[in-house]
Every structure is written in structure tokens, then in C-alpha cells.
Amino acid sequence: MTENKPGAGRGGRGGRGGRNGRGGRGGRGGRGGRGGRGKGRGGNQPQNEEKKNDKQDPVEQSTLHANAPAFTPGAVSAPPTSNDQGNSPKNNSKNTSNQNKNKNQKGGKGQQNNKGNGGNKQKKDAPGKDSNGKDSEKVNDKSQSSQKGKNQKRANNDNDGKKGKNGKGKNQGPNKGHNNAKEKNKGNNSTKGEKSVAAPEKPSIPPNQPQQTNDINFARGENITVFHVAEKPSIAQAIAKGLAHGEVTFKKKILPVHEFTNPPFPKAPHAKKVTHKVSSVAGHVFSVDFPQQFQSWESVDPAELFTAPITRKPCKGSVVKHLQDEARGAHFIVLWMDCDREGENINFEVLDCCMHLMKGGSGIANYDRVYRAHFSAINPSDIVKAYNNLGKPDKNQALSVDARQELDLKVGVAFSRFQTRFFQGRYGDLDSSVLSYGPCQTPTLGFCVQRHVDIETFKPEPYWTLELGVLKRGRMLRATWESGRSFNKHKTEELVMKAMEDSPTVVVTSVVTKDKKQGRPVPLNTVNILKACSKALGIGPHAAMQAAERLYLSGYLSYPRTESTAYPKSFDIKGTLQQQAGDSRWGNYVRELLAQGHNKSRGGVDMGDHPPITPCRSAGPHELSGDMSRVYEFVVRHFIASVSEDAVWRSTKIGFEIEALGAKGKFFVSGKQNVSLGFLAVLLHKQYGDEADNEGEDEEERTIPDFTKGEVIPLMKSNSGSNTSKVQVATGAPVWASLDVKEKMTTPPGYLTESELIGLMEKHGIGTDASIPTHIQNIQNRNYVRLESGRRLLPNKLGMVLVQGYHQIDSGLVLPKIRSDIEGQCNRISKGEMTKEEVVAKAIEMFQNKFDFFVKNIARMDVLFGSSFSKLEDVGKPFTRCGFSRRYLQYIPGPPPRLYNKYTETVYPMPAGGDIKQWSGRTCPVEGCNFELCLYSVGNPPRTFPLCPNCFNSADWSLAESPEDPDDKEDQNKEQQIKRMAGKALTLECPLPDDHPLIDELFVSPDPDSDGVFIMDPHFGPKWRLVSTRDATVIYLPKSIDKITILNETDEVLGCHKMKIEFKDGQSPLDGGETKHSAFFPTDPILQGASRVYHGSERTKAAGRGGRGRGRGRGRGRGGGRRR
């Protein structure tokens, strides 16, 4: 295909720069020819500097954690919780006496012990942070000064050797670690032309710090700025709409900012003018992870993770910078996060970023001007009410989230890394890229597997029961035997024989008719809506929670994460009903209810976090669609039903007795009829199942004929010659009875439904109302369970083997008790009854011992894997030859995909995210390699690239930036292989670097829109295409081309290879019908004019309007791209 002319090869291109504009390593030398082109990836892209700064941030980012409590070695990520106790000023003042004093002293000690942890990692593990990464306690001056000398020494030790580099001597004052980190960042950033800005001293925030000052004369006669921060942009917009009474200025920045000059601020009522700036974050500001030196799966022993430090990294550096820019110079900060523990945690993340930049005062004085709004809906009335009743953020609740995060990260990652590495290297058909363990996820899986074990080990047994049939007025009633059932057939048959002696009769012993009330449903909390959506609407917990959250953000529902099942006294039930009075579906019922007067809700508990889930505004029948419409309708109907009349049923129960059998001869028939529908008229009981907590649900709705107490009914005898227990009766009798023996079999329980699983998780304290849907979704995503009809969860083979393996080694790893205990301790943290440090230390010690025992006894679990899954050598099919042994490698599609040499027991991870095919026995041209090549196709439309299994796993041809140290290079290569084996990385571009000989052979020209190159699609003709190695761009060459040969001749200016083209006879665009043509693609007018450029997608399969891919246009997967 390629002409090999001596000395015509092109030289290696310049190295690829770093992702943030750094210059990369130099390109490898080519085979002669043109020199390196460009400045490397990113090296000549100054326009990206601003974007890079958004990710890395100016110097403020280095000060994010200064003076906050230092991270204790080992801190992590937990599921969100919403068991809030409220944040009213009254609650905030509860823990402010001796308890706060003691906590502050402990906080000082923790700061001393952890100062300077991490050495040079000041940017990630800045000193002065607590285990949450939030500001440490610094209330009394004596405590601060007592630590000053110790902190100075620790900070100087940690920053030894940096003073010469940064030109700084010892730092003075209590912010030594902060200043050192800042000077380090300043020195680093100065090379990029960035200016360092000295940040003010950051204040300290102890748990539940009360208001220190309450000066209503603050800023009297002056202009002030109030910075409001919401959790999501949509809530920020609702806050601005609720508070502003005039014009609102909208500024589109990193996140939207709404600015207006009214109303007055209740905490500074005498200010001359109040400027309000309302913006938001986008969820969590920081994520929790291990430092870089603990990220390696290869070089880090998972046992080390239990004692490893943790760092908090900005989820988006641009958000941090945005908060700092907007908060700088603000007099007050008002936090509008969701009113649950996770929201409190985000509150303190925001304060870590920007509280020290407020205007006026420093230290704790800034915290005096920080307030927290408590709200449950985003309607204007709720916004104004929260604004006029501002409280303080609750750090104890934030600490409980930090504790759970630390435990989940350390425990989950340690177990997951170990068992993934152990089993992925031994078995080929596990059908999961990561064998994850989670303190909540695994007990959730355990419930599903235990039910499967109960079903599989169930032994059906026969049993016998007596069935009394009573015929009256042409209707046969089947009476139930009060004794239930008997497992002795002989005794049951003897009872029938005894009943038939002499003149058998049945006597009516009782006739009881009474009205029973079926109680209206209790108000709706998160767990109940998840169960109802799964059972009645067929919507899974994860999808139901997403729909409820979208409805909340759109203003249709109140906050959907609540544990309360009782409306607070302040809740406006009448006003909420009036909003629904005009709806065509239930408006008539609501108007009648308002005219008669609504009822109080039944039972329930007000947990003080949020009110139950209720509608906030009306929505027409066609205003919403899909799951949102169905969830909204259910919530509205449930709310109306919860304040409606109870349903009334008339229940009738008839008692029968065969006197000859004594206590064994009692039977009954029961039924009920509706007298008043009550709430059932709006709740649509039959549609929504039994989620209304129905009383008497076991009674059948039917009419019972009239019976009289003492009435005697003849029991007919059976034929003497019959060998059956059935009684033969005389025909024509108006009222008679028969007695039968029925043989039945015991039946196993059914598989768990989502609704039942949610109930078990709630009962055993696994997860929270906010995290339960996530845990259920995770065990499905990991292929541990599958969802079958009826919303039932059936465990897959992998899930069963894992759970049984845990039981073989340590049942505590899968049983819910340990996690339930930890949840209870986290609740105590939120109430101020325990410290985060003691809870985490105790739990980490316990799990570390369990991990050590697990590792020592992993062979017990391996026995189960060996009997359920296939060894690598027994899986896959011969694919391509190994370049070393010349034996065929077996292709294991995974996940994760890999090639396996069963003769040398070598595993070659393959790129994930695309399709892998053989390529006609071609071999790799790299010296000493000789592996047979594959083709790797990715994207839509697919872009195909050559792939060498050996080079893909070689450090010499890694796509990542290569370290200079050979040992580091080897470690990096092993780490990449581990991540590929774990399915961590998707390869959505060419799997080989652009300077690899394979790519060089197909190279046509640079790609001006990316840092890649255009190569000839290795499928070649008849559909000739050029594909970009680093971008989802495809160039379709003219269909009249018959053959293309890439020459080694290059254009030294453009860095292109010349192409030798032959056109089809009669289709040539050349003058005189010539068929042969040579040209450089970027400069040839013929090729440029007849080629089509298509910008596709990195996704392998089309989505959205592409449908099933059978139609034209968009249906063929082209809807996601664009042509030019």
C-alpha cells in the first residue's frame, strides 16, 4: 500500500502537550524525512489558558482549606442522608455551652496533630482542615496561641526546601500552612503569567456555632451586599423571582447570577441600600478521594487505604472561582441548600471557598454574617417565609456526612480493588468490569440473594384442610376452617368420618354485621413514594426519584427527600387544596371537600426535616408527560386522600360449627360491601394497590346471603361405596352443606420486589431515603441482580457467588447489622452526641481487621468462583497470534475485553468502548513486536484504527504523558493495565499514539481541529475515508476513486503526505479523462471540492432519534453529527 523509498520517511512529530497546555515529551525519531511539527498537544494553544485556569484556579484555590480543621489520615465518601433535625436558631443554640467548649478544644488538638500532613501536597491536603475539609474550630484566643508555635514548627518542616524556591522566609501568624501553600502556588503560577492575590484570613467554624453578635444597627445608613447561594441554578432563579419586587439583572457567567436591590435584609434592617446577588453551585463543590500516591491499583496495597489520608478536590474549579469572585466584598452570605444533611455538607463546602473573602471583620466575625435559609418548596411564599426566618448552618449534620463518606470510600475501595484484581486475573466470564464492594450496596445485594436461597432450599410439603361448602339461594359459599391446616392426612379424614356419624348438621353460631373504617393514608414520605411508584406505577426507585426531583426543581412538588409522615401545624392544607380545585380530574371532589371541611391527617411523625411530599402548584392534564406526569398525579391524589374522609365498609361474618367435631369443627364465611368511598374516590385504590395502609384488606368484597343465628343446615352423607372424601348430597334441598378434604402444597416465597427490598432496607437501616434508590440501581448496574417482570429482583450468578463467598469468610461483611450500627452512630454525630473522629476510628479499625481476615481466607471464596466461572484458559476463541510465542491468543470479550495467552498465562487488556475485529493476519512493524494486528472501531459513524495488542499495553507507546524516570514509566504502564482490566477507562479515540509506525503508514495530514492527525481508514476501498485520530471527524473522499496509495513524499510546510490516486474509468474529474492523479489532500482543489466532512459522535451506537437504525438519515445514526 505504501511506497517504501529510502530516506523518505517523516521524522517524529513534536511531543503531545499536557491537557492544560503543558508541552509534552519530544516525539520519537522517524525514519528520516520531515522534522517534528508543532509544539505538541496544547503547546500552541494560548486560547485555552482561560479554560485551564478555570480548572486549576488562581491562587484562591490553594487557600480553599487553609485554617480549616486538618484532614485526619483517612477520610471519605458516603451516601446522602436526610434525617435532619432542623436548623432553627433554637436548635443551633442547644449545643453551644460546655459541649461546644470541649469540641473547640478537641478541634485545636486535631489541628495540631494533622498540621502539614502530606508534605508538598498543600494544595490538596492543606493544613488547618478538619476531616471534612471544613474550617476548624478556633473560638478562644488562648487555644489559638497555644498552637501557634507547634503549628509554626510543623509548617516549616513540611515546607522545608521551598523557601529558596519561592523566595520566602518563615511565615508568621496562625496561617503559616495557608501562606506556605499560597506562596508555593504563587511560585508555580508565576511561570504562566498568573498573578497571585493574597487572600484574607479564613475563619474557623465550630459545630453549631451560635450567633456571637446580633447588631441590628450593622451598616446603618450604608450600602451592603448579600450573596445568596443555592444548590442548583433552577433554585437560584426561583429565589430571585420570590424575593425581587422589581427589575432583576441577569448575568450569564460560569453559573447564572441574578442581581436586584430589594427587599431589605432582615439581619441589617437599617442599611441604606441592599444589593442582592443570587447564584448557585451545581451540587457538591468538592469530591473526596485519595491523594495521587494512593491512586495506583498496582503499587498500593489495598490494606494501606484504611490509614491513608484523603483529599478534597474541586468537582469543577470554575465553580470555586465563581464563588470566590461573587463573594468577594459581600457583607452577608445566605445559604439556600437543600434542607438535609447533604445540603448542610454543601453549605460548609461553600463557606470553605469564600467566607474568608467577605467584607468587614475576620475570623469568627465573618461567620456571624452567614445565615442558612430553611425551606421545603420553591414557591414565592415559601421563599419569602424562609428569608424572613434565617437560621444558622449545622456543622454536626455536615460532619455526619463526612464520616459516612470516609468510611464508604476507604472500605469500599479497599475491598473492591482487592477482589477485582484477584478474580479478574483468574476468570474470564465474570460479566462485570469491577467486582465492587460497598457497606450499603453489599447488604442490599444480600437481601436479594437470601430470598433466592430461601426459594431454592424450600421443600414443598403436602398439607390437608377441611373445606365446608354451604349452598343457599343458589350460591355456594366456601367457609374457611378456623384450625387452618393439618399435616396429617389420616387425622383429617377421620374428622370427616366423625362428622358424618348419626344425623350430621351444621349450626350457624354467629351472625356479625358491623361497619369498619378504612383509614385514609398517612402523608407521603420518600420511602413510601418509592414503594408506591414501583408497586403501583411500575416505575423503578431510581427513575421515580429522578422524576420527583425534576418536579421539585420545576416547582410542582415539595422537596422529595423527607422522612416525615405528618404535616406540621404551619402547613397550609386548605391553600394547597384550593390550588387543585380547578383540575378536571379531581376538581369536583376537591371542591366538595373544601365545602365540607377537610380532615386532619392520620398518624404519622413529623421528623422536623421537611414536611411530607405535597403538590406546590397545579398542572393541567397535558402539562406534564411520561414518568413526571404519573408521579405528579399520584402525589396529588395521595395528598387529597390524606385529608379526606375515611372509607367505610360493612363487614359481615357468619360462624358455622359442626358440633360432632368440637373445637375442630368451627368454620366462618366473611365478606364486605362499601358504604362510603371516602378517600378511595380520589386515590383510585385498585390502581395504586395497598399503599394506603388498608385495614381489612383480607376480606373479599362480596354480598353474603342472610343467615339466622341458630339456623341448622343439614350436612349430607357420602355414598358408602365411594373412596373419596367428597360428600354426595341430595338434589333439590334449598339449603345444605358439604364437607371436603382438600390436599394442598406449601409454596416458597416469591423473589423480592423493589417495594419489598426498599422496606427491608428501611427496616434494617441500610442507606437513607435519599440513597436507597442509588444502592438498588448499583447492584443492577454491576450485573449482580436483574429486574424481571413484576418489578422483581433476581440475583445473577456473580451476585450469588459474591454473597455466598462473604458468608464463607465473614458474614458480617454482608449482613445488615454492622452498617445499621454505623448509621446509628452517624445519627449521633448529627445530634452532637459523638464526634466524627471517634466514630470513624472505631469503624475503620473494625473493617481493617475484617479486611485482613478476608485476604487471608480468600481461597474460600475462590472455590465458589472456580465452580461457577471458567478459567481464562477455557474462555474465548483463537483470535490473533502472539508475536513472541507465535501461539494464538484467545479473545475474551469481557467486560473487560482482553486477549489471553494460555501458554505463557499473559493477559493483554484491550481498549473498551468500541468493537475489536481481526485484520487479515497483518503484523506490527515495530521492531521485536510482530504481533498480529486488530482493527478497533469506535464512534458513530464508526472510525476504524489499527491496533497492536502488545504496543497498546507497552509503556513505549502509551497515550499518556510518559515520565522521565524508567521506574515511574513502568509503574504507569502497570497502572494503565490495571485500570483497563477493571474497565476504568474507555478508549474513544485511536488507541495508539500518532507517532506509532502503524499510524505513520496511514498518515495523510494533520487535523486542524484537534491535536490529532487524519489517517486513511484501514478498510481502504471501495468507500475511501479519512478519519481523525483524536476527534470524531470523518472525511468521505469522492466515490469515483478506485485506488489510493500513500507516498512517503511530504510537504514540509503543511506536514502532509502526498497521495497517489487512481480514478475509475469514465468517472475521472481530471482534464482529458486522465485517471491518475497525485496531490496533497489539504491543498488539492479537486479533493477538497468533492469530499464531505462529517462530525460524528464518540459514542459507539446512535441514540435518540436514531431509533433502531433501519430508516434513512437520522435513523441511520447520523442525527447526532453535522456536515459541512
Q: List the catalytic residues.
A: 559
DSSP 3-state of 559: coil
Q: What is the 3-state secondary structure (H, E, C) of 181-228?
A: HHHHHHHHHHCCCCCCCCCCCCCCCCCCCCCCCCCCCCCECCEEEEEE
What whole-number distance in Å separates Cα of residue 235 and Cα of residue 668? 59
Phi/psi of residue 561, nearest 5 degrees: -115, 95
435, 297 Cβ separation under 8 angstroms:
no
Alpha helices in 684-744 (DSSP H): 685-688
Taking Cα atoms as reference points, which of 854, 780, 826, 855 lies closest to residue 444? 780
Helix, strand, coil in percent for the chain, rounding step 5 = 35, 20, 45
**What's phi and psi for 431, nearest 5 deg?**
60, 30
Measured over the CA atoms of residue 937, residue 938, residue 942 and residue 944, the dihedral's sign is: negative
**If we measure between CA atoms, which residue out of 54, 70, 293, 66 comes closest to residue 183?**
66
Phi, psi of 472 (to 5 degrees): -145, 130
Q: Which H or E run includes 48? A: none
Cα gap 1013→1005, rounded to integer Å: 6
d(CA 180, CA 1081): 54
Q: HSE (CB half, 13 Å, CA atoms) of 990?
A: 30
DSSP code at position 1006: E
User: Which residue carries 408521579 as its cell?
Assistant: 631
Residues 6+ apart with CB under 8 A from 349: 133, 134, 281, 284, 285, 286
Contact 513, 745 (CB under 8 A): no
CA distance 66 to 85: 30
Q: In the block, which residue shows the cell 525514519?
A: 31
Q: How far is CA 647 from CA 366, 515, 702, in A?
A: 56, 10, 16
CB contact set of 142 (below 8 Å; sequence gap of 6+): none
Query: Which residue in 743, 724, 725, 742 sits closest to 461, CA to CA?
Result: 743
C-alpha to C-alpha distance for 236 and 238, rounded to whole angstroms:
5
Count of alpha carbons within 13 angstroms of residue 444, beta-carbon side: 32
Buried-state track 486-501, b at ≥16 Cβ within 10 A, e below 16: beeeeebeebbeebbe
Task: Check residue 308 and give left, alpha or beta (phi > 0: left; psi -120 to 50: alpha).
Answer: beta
| 968 contact partners, CB below 8 Å, separation of at least 6 | none
The three-class DSSP label of residue 947 is strand
For the chain, the C-alpha Rg in angstroms (whole number) is 37
- Compute the Cα dihedral for 1034, 1039, 1045, 1048 and give only its sign: negative
Contacts of residue 935, Cβ cutoff 8 Å, sequence gap at least 6:
916, 917, 918, 919, 944, 945, 946, 947, 1018, 1019
